[in-house]
Chain A
Amino acid sequence: MGNGKFAKEFAKGIILANPVFVLALGLCPTLAISTSIDNALGMTLAVLIVLLGSNIIIALIRNFVPNITRIPIFIVIIATLVTVVNLIFHAYLPATYEALGIFLPLIVVNCIILGRAEAFASKNPVASSIADALGITVGFMLALLMISFIRQVLGTGGLSVFGHDLFTLPGLRDHPIAIFILPYGAFLVIGLLMGLFRRTGVMKNE
């Protein structure tokens, strides 16, 4: 496979098929953990490991899996990878493990992972499946970072990443707009962002 095709599969996931804003997949974790940049990065790392692993394994075995039992097989592969990620996070990133809570094991039922396995990795060779996994993860990361950035800055009045204070907004620091850090703020931010993307033509109207 040439570089051109690899780049194409990679770029597709970032804008045209952005999993969150365009396909509206994986909404549960996106909304739930986008309260801080730390959580967004932790979630991205977990999704990267699981998606990359499942896309590679499924692309490798795609010719041996009987069509009728493919979904249960994919689910077991994904569940095993999620268990591994869960144990790794518990051991090496305990703070992130606590912050992500049940959304770390819930990656099993994240439609992005099974969706890519079914729609892409089960029909394509390993190299393009890797490109697909990386592109989709970058698209997921950008969406998460965008939402988390807005929520964290408006909801806490500043930005700190892994304990380093990057900046604070003096007025907001004392009186942050708490709704953005609460669950309802997540719905508000993603709704407004989607509307904005459609208005500016980045995304198509319905």
Chain B
Amino acid sequence: MNELFAVFLGMVLINNFILVRFLGLCPFFGVSKQLNSAISMGVAVTFVMAVSSLATWLIRHYILIPLDIEYMNIVIFILVIATLVQIIELFIKKTNLGLYFSFGIYLPLITTNCAVLGITLINTNQDYSLSGSLVAALGGGLGFTLVLAMMSGIREKLEMANTPKSMKGLPIAFITAALLGLAFVGFSGII
């Protein structure tokens, strides 16, 4: 139990997906202009990460390893993720139309988000158990959402700020991310 908690905390705060592992940067800079869309994106990514971790763990342990075709990891994982995203999209569209529209374009884009393929590869490399994979995925997703939400709050204020003309937009967002990352170093002592 303690070990799972350490994995979770490490994923959220210490090895944060965005600030330390550099996974999922495209939505980080693309979507983080408004708080609402940042949180929707974060929740959608977390959900897909958890479901994909579950599915890829089962496929790896019951199909790939018995058949000794682990080198097919990458192709299989990306197909699983793409299929899952499609299924989730159809499911949400049928059951909850409001949620479907609030996710909008973000849901199909998740297929090419490196955070999702990243977590399945991290689970494989670390050889986490089924519960470990799930906890790692939820922790990673939560850390991703947290930083995305913080960044969107900062960027809403930055729009009003008097930044030099050549630093407006992306450059100042990068600098802000660097400072945010430095602030997160403070957490590294807690495990």
The reply on A7 being an interface residue by CB < 8 A is no
Query: Of B22, B111, B125, B178, which one neighbours A191 at CB under 8 angstroms?
Result: B178
Determine the distance from Cα of A28 to Cα of B19 in the docked complex, in whole angstroms. Answer: 11
Total number of A residues with any Cβ neighbor in B under 8 Å: 42
- Tell me the B103-157 residues at the A interface (CB within 8 Å): 111-114, 117-118, 121-122, 125
Decide if A105 touches B74 in the complex (CB within 8 Å). yes
Q: Check A206 against B169 for contact (C-beta < 8 Å).
A: yes
- Cβ contacts under 8 Å, B169 to chain A: 206
Q: Is the CB of A184 within 8 A of B182?
A: yes
The reply to whether B174 and A190 contact each other, CB–CB distance below 8 Å, is: yes
Closest to B108 in A: A71
Question: For the complex, is B186 an interface residue (Cβ under 8 Å from A)?
Answer: no
What separation, in Å, do the CA atoms of A59 and B163 have in the docked complex? 44
In which size bucket is the chain B interface? 35 or more
Q: Is B189 part of the binding interface, using a Cβ–Cβ cutoff of 8 Å?
A: no
Q: How far is the CA of A144 from the CA of B169 in the complex (A)?
A: 21
Q: Which of A40-48, A60-68, A81-89, A133-141 sits within the interface?
A: A81-89
Q: How far is the CA of A196 from the CA of B131 in the complex (A)?
A: 47
Q: Is the CB of A24 within 8 A of B78?
A: no
In the docked arrangement, what's the CA distance between A27 and B112, Å? 13
Question: Beta-carbon contacts of A108-151 to B below 8 Å, as 1s and 0s?
Answer: 11110010000000000000000000000000000000000000
Q: How far is the CA of A22 from the CA of B11 in the complex (A)?
A: 31
**Interface-located stretch among A9-17, A72-80, A153-161, A162-170:** A72-80
Contacts of A72 in B (CB 8 A): 79, 82
- The interface residues of chain B lying within 8 Å CB-to-CB of A49 are none
B44 within 8 A of A: no
Residue A192 interfacial (CB < 8 Å)? yes
Question: A199 an interface residue at 8 Å Cβ cutoff?
Answer: yes
Whether the Cβ atoms of B174 and A83 lie closer than 8 Å is: no
A105 to chain B, nearest CB (A): 5
> Taking each of A31, A83, A111, A187, which has the highest tally of chain B beta carbons within 10 Å of its own beta carbon?
A187
Complex A-B, nearest 5 residue pairs according to Cβ-Cβ distance, in ascending order: A191-B174, A198-B166, A187-B178, A206-B169, A184-B181
A28-B25, A106-B117, A187-B178 known; 4 other A-B pairs, CB under 8 Å?
A: A106-B23, A106-B121, A195-B167, A199-B166
Q: What are 25 A-B pairs with beta-carbon distances under 8 A?
A: A32-B21, A32-B22, A79-B78, A79-B79, A83-B75, A86-B71, A86-B74, A102-B118, A106-B118, A109-B112, A109-B113, A109-B117, A183-B20, A183-B21, A183-B22, A183-B181, A184-B185, A187-B178, A187-B181, A192-B175, A194-B171, A198-B165, A205-B165, A205-B166, A206-B169
Which residues of B line the A interface, CB within 8 A? 19-26, 29, 71-75, 78-79, 82, 111-114, 117-118, 121-122, 125, 164-175, 177-179, 181-182, 185
